């Protein structure tokens, strides 16, 4: 029986979500063709000898599981894993680098919001923000997920405070064009599109509390014309391919009132909790999570 390490833990604010995701994955795999074992990574130490496993299912959200560090270590010691490769993981973990990479890739029908990166050692240039980004704008940590430390800034007087708040979670901060519209996300598994979901939350943006409180309404599939649905799926496939992702990923978008589609984020280690979107999309396709997870593991074992 194939021994699978379901890896969780990490050292970011998303640790709690990682634990819930790992337990869900363990339960989906348990009793099937695999022997899943929960393995925790804390302060650089694994709770089990990771080299004894046939494959690692990585569900660490944030560092070091989502930024390429775990992937690089596993590849160095010759242990197969389900994550995207080092390059894809490291690029997508940085919101600023993702936007620049995708912008340079010139994917048809996909727009990228204007953004500036404020490093730890630099101060924000108000004139630059006003001229390039404008107000209101969106401020968020460059690294990390679940919208931790993110906020909307209405005017110049609130910008420094928002940057300080974001820096609690990451030294680098992104100041980005604020976009208003309908939010969509599309899951993909080894280049096989799952489904599109619309997220209706009623908040100024899809923040951490709204994501995990159950207050958001997630509609799978959404009420969209066939042409727009097909466009989102095609763009998702293009983003996945140009970044060289593998395994399960999710691409998030916002569609403005004039129906322009903008990239929000690429998530190479999406949540797998009861409140997560990927399990909903899998269900909408008529499959089970066990089937999808087994497909991901089998693909890695055979390649």
The answer to whether residue 294 scores a pLDDT higher than 70 is yes
Q: Give the H/E segment covering residue 7.
A: strand 2-9
Task: Mark which of 161, 177, 193 sits at the end of a domain.
Answer: 177
CA angle at residue 71 from 67 to 76, to 5 degrees? 135
Taking all residues of the chain, what is their mean pLDDT, rounded to a whole number?
91
- Same domain assignment for residues 23 and 39: yes
The answer to whether residue 288 scores a pLDDT higher than 70 is yes
- Same domain assignment for residues 59 and 98: no
Give the C-alpha separation, 134 to 276, whole Å: 33
On the question of a cis peptide bond just before residue 221, with omega within 30 degrees of 0, the verdict is: yes
pLDDT of residue 66: 93
- Same domain assignment for residues 199 and 291: yes
- Same domain assignment for residues 152 and 212: no
Report long-range pairs for 35-38 (Cβ below 8 Å, ≥24 apart).
35/1, 35/2, 35/3, 35/4, 36/4, 36/5, 36/6, 37/3, 37/4, 37/5, 37/6, 38/6, 38/8
The answer to whether residue 124 scores a pLDDT higher than 90 is no
At a CB cut-off of 8 Å and minimum separation 6, what does 2 contact? 33, 34, 35, 54, 55, 297, 301
- Same domain assignment for residues 207 and 262: yes
Give the domain extent around 122. 114-177
- Same domain assignment for residues 131 and 160: yes
Pairing mode of beta strands 55-58, 80-81: parallel
Give the C-alpha separation, 230 to 282, whole Å: 17
Q: Give the H/E segment covering residue 8.
A: strand 2-9
Indicate the range of 48-52, 79-83, 200-204, 226-230 predicted with least confidence: 200-204
Indicate the range of 34-43, 57-66, 171-180, 204-213 predicted with least confidence: 204-213
φ/ψ (deg, to 5) at 30: -60, 135
- Same domain assignment for residues 145 and 244: no
- Same domain assignment for residues 48 and 185: no
- Same domain assignment for residues 98 and 26: no
The residue whose two tokens read 């999309």 is 281
Instruction: Indicate the number of domains in the chain.
Output: 3
pLDDT of residue 97: 96
Task: Mark which of 159, 177, 195 sits at the end of a domain.
Answer: 177
| Higher-scoring residue by pLDDT: 170, 59 | 59
Task: Mark which of 148, 177, 206 sits at the end of a domain.
Answer: 177
| Exposed e or buried b per residue across 52-69, where buried means at least 16 C-beta atoms within 10 angstroms of its C-beta | ebbbbbbbbbbbbbbbbb
- Same domain assignment for residues 69 and 144: no
pLDDT of residue 62: 86
Q: Are 108 and 101 in contact (CB under 8 A)?
A: no
Q: How confident is the model at residue 143 (pLDDT cuts 50, 70, 90)?
A: confident
- Same domain assignment for residues 100 and 236: yes
CATH of the domain at 11: 3.40.50.20
The residue whose two tokens read 């708040």 is 165
The answer to whether residue 74 scores a pLDDT higher than 90 is yes
- Same domain assignment for residues 167 and 201: no
| Higher-scoring residue by pLDDT: 195, 122 | 195
CATH of the domain at 191: 3.30.470.20
What is the pTM (predicted TM-score) of this model? 0.91
CA angle at residue 90 from 187 to 79, to 5 degrees? 85
């Amino acid at each position: 029986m194939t021994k699978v390490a379901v890896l969780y833990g990490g050292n970011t604010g998303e640790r709690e979500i990682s634990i819930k995701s790992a337990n869900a994955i363990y339960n989906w795999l348990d009793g099937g063709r695999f022997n899943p074992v929960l393995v925790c990574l804390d302060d650089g130490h694994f709770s089990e000898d990771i080299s004894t496993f046939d494959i690692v299912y990585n569900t660490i959200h944030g560092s070091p599981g989502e930024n390429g560090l775990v992937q690089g270590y596993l590849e160095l010691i010759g242990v197969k894993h389900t994550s995207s490769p080092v390059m894809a993981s490291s690029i997508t973990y940085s919101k600023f680098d993702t936007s620049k990479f995708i912008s340079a890739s010139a994917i048809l029908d996909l727009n990228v919001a204007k953004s500036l990166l404020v490093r730890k050692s630099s101060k924000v240039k108000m004139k630059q923000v006003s001229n390039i980004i404008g107000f209101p704008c969106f401020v968020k940590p460059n690294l990390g997920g679940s919208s931790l430390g993110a906020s909307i800034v209405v005017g110049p007087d609130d910008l420094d405070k928002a940057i300080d708040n974001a820096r609690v979670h990451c030294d680098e901060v992104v100041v980005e064009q604020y976009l208003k519209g309908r939010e969509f996300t599309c899951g993909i598994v080894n280049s096989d599109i799952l489904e599109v979901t619309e997220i209706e939350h009623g908040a100024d943006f899809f923040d951490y509390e709204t994501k995990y409180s159950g207050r958001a309404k997630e509609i799978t599939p959404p009420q969209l014309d066939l042409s727009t649905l097909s466009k989102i799926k095609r763009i998702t496939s293009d983003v996945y391919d140009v970044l060289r992702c593998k395994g399960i990923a999710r691409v998030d978008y916002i569609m403005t009132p004039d129906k322009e589609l903008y990239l929000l984020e690429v998530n190479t280690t999406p949540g797998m909790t009861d409140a997560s979107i990927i399990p909903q999309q899998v269900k909408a396709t008529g499959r089970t999570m066990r089937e999808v997870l087994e497909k991901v593991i089998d693909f890695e074992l055979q390649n």
